[in-house]
Amino acid sequence: MTIRLGDTAPDFEQDSSEGTIKFHEWLGDSWGVLFSHPADYTPVCTTELGFTAKLKDEFAKRNVKAIALSVDDAESHKGWINDINETQNTTVNFPIIADQDRKVSELYGFIHPNASDTLTVRSLVIIDPNKKVRLIITYPASTGRNFHEVLRVIDSLQLTDNYKVATPANWQDGDDVVIVPSIKDEEEIKQRFPKGYKAVTPYLRLTPQPNK
């Protein structure tokens, strides 16, 4: 199965380092970050899980829950978590799904046969409170994920869900944003963006971030 942007994130029930997870129920009305790992005790993933744990407050203020996945069992996960906590100077504060039967990996398309028939690729999926898939990034085994980029995308998604704007290249929270092209009426623009805007071209109009 291949998931695409806008699809409903597949629901599942699976064991984890924190017991049985019923995914949609576990997410509740939160945003979710689900990210896969090829196996326990892998070096790059160890750093990623440790860094994710350190982002707990950043995720919390954005109403985001993190959940990881690996094809090893829950007991193996618990041993790996001890290593992560010790080597990364943190405390893992989110579940790691035990996907021994590859059920979740198959649902989400995390098995890429040309890479490996048995191990998951290192994919990351952002899911909104309506359980819709909003972002999919797949990394090679040799490259650690950029979690600052994950937070940046979440900021952009949450902003653009609430305002008629888009975020330009390299945008960071607090930078100017783009007024969407579908808004053409000047009165509507004045109402929505009272701080005004700069028209670089008729279709590229920059305005201060409306929630700042």
**Edge-to-edge strand order for the sheet containing 165-166?**
165-166, 177-179, 204-207, 198-201
Find the catalytic residue in 9, 33, 45, 178.
Answer: 45
How far is 208 from 198, CA to CA, in rounded Å?
A: 9
Helices and strands, number each (H, E), in the chain: 7, 11
Q: Please say if 135 is a catalytic residue.
A: no
b/e 105-121 (16+ beta carbons within 10 angstroms → b):
bebbbbbeeeeeeebbb
CA dist 189 and 86 (Å) reads 53
Token reading at 149: 């980029």
CA distance 64 to 41: 25
Residues with a known catalytic role: 45
